Structure 1
Amino acid sequence: MDKDKKESIVRWLWRSAISLGIVLLILAAFGVTLRLNFLLGDEIIIHLSPQQDSFWIHYGEQRIEVINLSIETPLYCAASCTYAFTDKGQDVMLDEGNLTLRNGDRYFREYLLSPSRAGRGQDVYRFDVTCRSIHSALCPARGEVTYRSSLILLNYDLSEQEKALRQESQDIMLPFLARLAALDIALKTQSGRIVLLAPTVKMDDLQERKAAIEGGFSSLLLDTERLKALWSAENYSGLRQELGDFPLDNTFDALQRNVTMLSAAVAERIALHNALVNRTISLVAEANAAGDIYALAVAANDSRLRAAVLGFIHQANETQRSFSRLDFKGYGSLQGALAELSDREKAIENDSKSLRAGSRARWAFLLAKERDRACLLSGEEDSCLLNGTMANIYDAYQHELSTEWPSSTVVARTCSEIADLKQEHLRIGNETQQRLREQNISFPADSSFNRSVTDVSANISATIMEAYAESLSAVNDPAFADLLSLWMGAPSSTAMNGTGIREAKDYLLAHLDIGQDTAAYEASFCPLPAQFSHALLPANLTATVDPPLPPVNSTIGTSLPDNPALCCIFGECAPCCTAPSCASQEETFPIIFLHGHAFNKASAPAYSLDAFNLIQYALEEEGYLNAGIVTPLTATEGISAGEWGLSGKPVSVKASYYLDAYLEGKQYVIIPTKSENIDTYALRLKDVIATVKERTGREKVNIVAHSMGGLVARRYMQAFGDADVNRLIMIATPNQGIAGKVNDLCPLFGEEKECQDMQPGSLFLNRLNDPSRQPQRVQLYTIAGIGCDTDRKDGDGVVAAESAHLPQAEQFNVSGTCGGIFGEQLHTALLDISRYPQTMEIIKSALRGDSS
């Protein structure tokens, strides 16, 4: 091989070696660049935008929502994505899927939305996307997950026609409910009357009527509840149709008439009951008084009349017992029983008339005879026989019968008069004895005087009988015919003279007693025979009065619910929070997540928003609705004031101060601007806070800030006041600045102006930490990472713990580890709550306002 050829081969080898070296160098540089990009966070950016964030429609209408999805990935990378469309009101998954996207790919999903219920309210939907880079030789991705969410609000209201139907239905229902409540009180009143009267008045048939009315009333109540349910469901069209088809007034009027008739029937029943009570008491009294007739029947040996009297008494007693126990069939049957008793009473009175008349005539004669005897003994013979004519006795007898007939108590009255007569005789005897003592008169104890007393007594009796015998023949009355037996065998009177007659009369007068005929009458009839006494039963019935009732109230509501707009969230529905007081409810203040300093100045601002993904989703478990991201365009998206806050639940949003917007023609354009100082970022935060307050309708926000985001929030409060912020939770925020290697490297990877502001002793930090300019109304919390060498101090590898804490804040430390200057730093890992759950617990405690 010649020399030229060898040199040619050598040159070719050198050129090949150089070319291969250059290729290898390029490939190595390319690989380092890829890995550095991924190390600094330049992985996936998700662009998620619904066609419309908020809808206002009526029940029955529908709207189509179009979701636009695209991603940006590093060169040669693809992403595996999962999406889900959820009804957050009902907490129900409506759609989900998986797809693979590459840089610049676009994906669309359409959903047909309609109100979940009639009336007014708000439904909340959310579209969530999670993407992860697919690792390959040309895509050295770490496989971190990126999240994006977009909230969609469906607000619905009554149409004008529904509002008119609502008013018409209300105009019908309210008067009807008032009448129904009044009828309820009336029915309860009658029910109470019947219950209170039932122990003393037979109410079986009226209770059946009451039960039938109550059944009809219950049926009307069920129909009313069905109508009220339509009202509560805000189905005003269906309600108005039901009111037209259902004859409310006719049914109500029929029930009202029945209640009125029942009230009248109860009053009539009380009156009838009391009338029959009085009639029963009267008949029982008559039965008990029939002992006179029974005694006369015994004396006359009239067994038929005696049995009739005992049967009458027994039936009267049984009727009374049945009445008092209310075990009779009905008042009709009771009336029949009382009528039968009345007939038996009349029959007994009629059958005993002659016995009673004869008894009364006999006693009239005996009484006159007794008084004439006392008169003759007193020595007033000339005046005594004025009573002793049978004509006078008969005239008195006739007068008595004309005024008191028919009387079944003839014997009882006679016994009473006998008792009175004996008292009269006792008085006369006592007075005579007193007179004789005063006159010092005494009576001999010999037999001659005793015979004289006997003769005088017999002669006086004979004188009286002779005086009556002459006039008896002139009386033509069967009742007096029996008196003739009193004269049979009676001795005749004789003339008596002598001084012993006065002494005998005084003796008889001093020991005056009823005669033998009167004594015999008393022995026969006074008291009643024992057999009759055992049959007597005292009347135990009393009249019933309409009982006083306690106040009766109706449980029927006379108003209709206002049917406020209902907002459903997390499976629960409640009236939408629209009152002015909602604005100041601290537990519903929204959360704004503020990211920190971007270590890669070339990375998109959207990547910084992913720092709080895990925390934002975890807080939703605590009741904070994930509302996605707020950008400068959010304020222009046409969402009404307070829409995010209607559910009464707090929302959480992520925001970036790296984004700005400007108007180009008629459309706003959003641009990333990361090269500004913190003062500029604080100005942008002002717009974010104003947008969130306006969307939620709340007067304050809570801020959870990472790293430099805490400085942005503090500067905002210095520049614009702290009235809009409730709590500020700062995580790894360099409140005293960054130092050492981190400070040296900051301008190389991040923006220079930000780095200058965070240098210890910078003008910015001096103003920020001026003690006289600290917020007075905001509760501050600082969370510092510890366990990593941070410029020879304990910290999170980027910010020393002593730099993170503020003296006026509640301070917390979270221990962790770092992976070297190009490895993972605790500074960013603090937000990974799967590894550092203590961070999450501190945030939740701070949001609740718990003290450390």
Structure 2
Amino acid sequence: MRVIVGFMVLFGVVLLFLMSRFNFSDTVDSILLSLVAGIIVFIFVSGLTYSSLSNRSDKLNNTESKIKKRKKKANLVGLIFMVVFMIVFFNFYLHIKTMLGNDLLVSLNIEEENFVIKNGEEVNIEITAKVLTNPFCKANCSLTLRDLSNDELIYEDNIFIKVSSPLSKEYKISSAWEQSGQKLYKVTLHCNNVKDRFCYSYNPSPALRTRIISVDHDLNEIQELIKNNLKNNIKDMNTEVYIIDNNLGDFNFDKPYLNLSDLRENSIIINNSLISIKENMSSLSSLYLSQDYFKLGTDVYNLNQEIVKLNSSFNELNSSYFGNISLYNLVLANLSIMHQEIIYLEDYNFSEYSLELAKSFINDFNSFISIMEDKNSASFKLEKFNELSLKKENLSFVLQDELINNISRENKLNISIYDVNLPKFNIEYKNYTLDFVLGEPSPICCLHNECYDCIDDASLNYPIIFVHGHSFNEKISPELSMDSFGGMAGQLEKDGGYLDAGYFYRSQYDEGSKGYLGRVNSTIVVEATYYIDTVVTDDGSFMLTSKWESIDTYASRLNDIVSNVKYITGKDKVIIVAHSMGGLVTRKYIQLYGEDSLEKIVLIGIPNHGVDGFVLNYCAVFGADLECSEMNKSSEFILNLNSVPLPDIPIYNLVGVGCFWEGSDGDGIVKSSSAYLDGAENIYVNGTCNLVDFFHVRMVHPSLHPEIYNIVKEKIEIKEVYTSVA
């Protein structure tokens, strides 16, 4: 018996030593702890039974063989009690673990979240999902992949995930786009524990994890060729229309001495067509910049046919216009020559017959000058000039005949020949050129069936970082702490204008990741934790859970979080919403690194002046000692934190009231006198406490306190609207 007990004691000590030295899984922890408890019960029950049997054997003076049988019986009773107690203890232990936060934690990881592809290519999305829960539980999960550009559900899988069997999935996303730009996809994992004999769950709401994937699309070679051809066509068409428009504007249909009314009417018709074409030309540029190349190709073809017709009509008008001017100038030049040829007639001697002919011709000549001065067509002037030329030729023939036949010529003309003082119209052909520049289209971003130019503005849509509070259980996953703001982030997305990007882990990002989450017209929301540190080595980076550091260390990690969120969103500032100890971390971050990266902060239930009483006494029962000691109202940390003036940025401080303990009012954890922050906009919110159901914890849950959510939503909102819709 002593050997068995000694072995059991030694075995129990070894188990306790192993548990203290190594971090086992929850399954191993539960079994080992149950074994230790069972060994203790076995030793106690076996010893008690053996002692009872020994006393009876002394009184009855039993034989040694009977005593051995009773010892075996004692060991059997102890073993039965040990097994029964182990089962009971195991159940009790699992209940306690569940209540302390190990109900159901879900981890969702994606190998790569930012892709750059050519249209027509595919990308592989590699997803890994794990659950952390009671080792005897399995989680019923729904995994979805949704295209956020049009809210189309691409994939949906319903699966069971166990602690021992993580989920690995691979999805393919293909690009059927004809534009360049960005599309966002959202991976969502909903999980619920399936209750069983040894599986307990106290959370009716599913565990939710989301990740955002961005895919940048570039045109493929064929699309790039089509785009460049369309661009050249638009440039050529704009140049041609520009030349026609300017030449048409140079026409002067009010020239003296010429009637160009018929050409004016033609020019009005052409100009109306030109106006319509120019309006359509503007739409071509818009289609090009919005990357609607399919419609652009059709419109370019149709409009080009109209421009061909316009060009033909213009060339005809141009020919007629300059033809009329040239014809007028030709008639004028010939008239001037004729004047020089007939001016001698004023001193010439005529016969009776030739005198009458000369008078008639000179009168016609002088009348033709009036015709030239009148507004009539150049063709009419030419017609009359030709008639005048025939009369001149006839007169010249008669005069020559009289001269040959020596006919008596003693009569003078006594009629003046009018001078030709009409101006010649200059013909100027202008060579118009157009340096037409058509800019490159901006990438197109689409979100919830609305497309627009991707945003490249560091001051628009500042991202929201939710910072959780103190974890009362040091051993549970940091993701449980980030869960505290999951409901608020999800509600913001449902209300519109926000995009929940899920949990944010501080990490390193390459150049291609810069600004990839800040190009859509929506405010990015992330839930961050300062309980995870990223260690960077030559072989890469890995995350290390560290929940026992100082608040100064957490502030340093928050600085890295802020820097990385700014980097991946391309924004120059962020907005922080912090709860409980997260507010102290935020204030310490400002004290150490300044407020230049912050637009505003919202604080919820913050122990700005520390904690005391039962909250301080029980703080470190499960949590980290250092955190609790620094939150002591008399600690050097609290005194130092409040010795520095608040930064010159908006600070909204929500103070919980309605729970009374230790002679003070507050939210059940933080007294209102401690939460009040001088220099901030203090907003008091009412709630109630019930045993261990503290208002302090419920403050960040929109379903429980929508009035607090509405205050937070109002304070984080920035009244700026992006209007560049493609």
Task: Return the TM-score normalized by structure 2.
Answer: 0.67
Deviation at 1:740, TM superposition (A): 1.6
Give 1:48's match in structure 2, choosing from 80, 83, 108. Answer: 108
Distance in 1 (CA, whole Å) between partners of 2:236 and 2:586 is 58
Residue 366 of structure 2: aligned partner: none
> What letter corresponds to residue 555 of structure 2 in structure 1?
A
Q: Show CA shifts across 1:497-549 (max 9, x none).
A: xxxxxxxxxxxxxxxxxxxxxxxxxxxxxxxxxxxxxxxxxxxxxxxxxxxxx
Residue 627 of structure 1: aligned partner: 501
**Alignment gaps of 5+ in structure 1:** 195-200, 271-330, 332-401, 404-555
1:712 aligns with 2:585: yes
Alignment of 1:59-458 (within 5 A): 59-115=119-175, 117-142=177-202, 143-158=204-219, 169-184=230-245, 229=287, 232-233=290-291, 235=293, 253-260=311-318
Deviation at 1:721, TM superposition (A): 1.5
Residue 810 of structure 1: aligned partner: 681
Q: Show CA shifts across 1:284-314 (max 9, x none).
A: xxxxxxxxxxxxxxxxxxxxxxxxxxxxxxx
What root-mean-square deviation, in Å, do the aligned CA atoms of Structure 1 and Structure 2 show?
Answer: 4.7
SS in structure 2 at match of 1:645: coil
Distance in 2 (CA, whole Å) between partners of 1:110 and 1:779 is 45
Give 2:555's match in structure 1, choosing from 668, 675, 682. Answer: 682
Q: Which moved more, 1:28-37 or 1:651-660?
A: 28-37
1:801 aligns with 2:672: yes
- Percent identity over the alignment is 26
Structure 1 contact 722–775 (Cα < 8 Å) conserved: no
> What letter corresponds to residue 810 of structure 1 in structure 2?
E
1:757 aligns with 2:626: no
Question: For residues 807 and 775 of structure 1, do their structure 2 counterparts lie closer, same or farther at Cα, with a shift above 3 Å needed?
Answer: closer
Q: Show CA shifts across 1:97-142 (max 9, x none).
A: 3222211323344333344633432111111112122233312201
Question: For residues 256 and 714 of structure 1, do their structure 2 counterparts lie closer, same or farther at Cα, with a shift above 3 Å needed?
Answer: same
Deviation at 1:708, TM superposition (A): 0.8
Residue 32 of structure 2: aligned partner: none
Deviation at 1:837, TM superposition (A): 0.4
SS in structure 2 at match of 1:122: strand
Deviation at 1:19, TM superposition (A): 5.4
Structure 1 contact 119–157 (Cα < 8 Å) conserved: yes
Give 1:569's match in structure 2, choosing from 421, 427, 447. Answer: 447
Structure 1 contact 677–754 (Cα < 8 Å) conserved: yes
Structure 1 contact 788–816 (Cα < 8 Å) conserved: yes
1:654 aligns with 2:527: yes
Q: Show CA shifts across 1:357-378 (max 9, x none).
A: xxxxxxxxxxxxxxxxxxxxxx
Distance in 2 (CA, whole Å) between partners of 1:730 and 1:675 is 23
Q: Which moved more, 1:725-734 or 1:102-111?
A: 102-111
Give 1:774's match in structure 2, choosing from 614, 627, 645. Answer: 645
Question: For residues 664 and 231 of structure 1, do their structure 2 counterparts lie closer, same or farther at Cα, with a shift above 3 Å needed?
Answer: closer
Structure 1 contact 169–236 (Cα < 8 Å) conserved: no
Deviation at 1:166, TM superposition (A): 5.2
SS in structure 1 at match of 2:161: strand
Distance in 2 (CA, whole Å) between partners of 1:575 and 1:187 is 37
Distance in 1 (CA, whole Å) between partners of 2:642 and 2:519 is 38
Task: Return the TM-score normalized by structure 1.
Answer: 0.58
Give 1:26's match in structure 2, choosing from 72, 78, 86. Answer: 86
Structure number with greater CO (CA < 8 Å, separation at least 6) is 1
Distance in 1 (CA, whole Å) between partners of 2:152 and 2:253 is 55
Structure 1 contact 790–796 (Cα < 8 Å) conserved: no
Residue 464 of structure 1: aligned partner: none
Q: Show CA shifts across 1:549-604 (max 9, x none).
A: xxxxxxx99653541122222332222223xxx22x2x511111111111111101
Q: Which moved more, 1:34-43 or 1:241-250?
A: 241-250
SS in structure 2 at match of 1:632: coil
Structure 2 contact 178–223 (Cα < 8 Å) conserved: no
Residue 847 of structure 1: aligned partner: 716
Distance in 2 (CA, whole Å) between partners of 1:128 and 1:681 is 29
Distance in 2 (CA, whole Å) between partners of 1:232 and 1:717 is 43
Q: How many residues align?
A: 562
Structure 2 contact 289–440 (Cα < 8 Å) conserved: no
Q: Which moved more, 1:38-47 or 1:610-619?
A: 38-47
- Greater C-alpha radius of gyration: 1
> What letter corresponds to residue 662 of structure 2 in structure 1?
D
> What letter corresponds to residue 455 of structure 2 in structure 1?
C
Give 1:733's match in structure 2, choosing from 589, 601, 606. Answer: 606
SS in structure 1 at match of 2:663: coil
Residue 438 of structure 2: aligned partner: 560
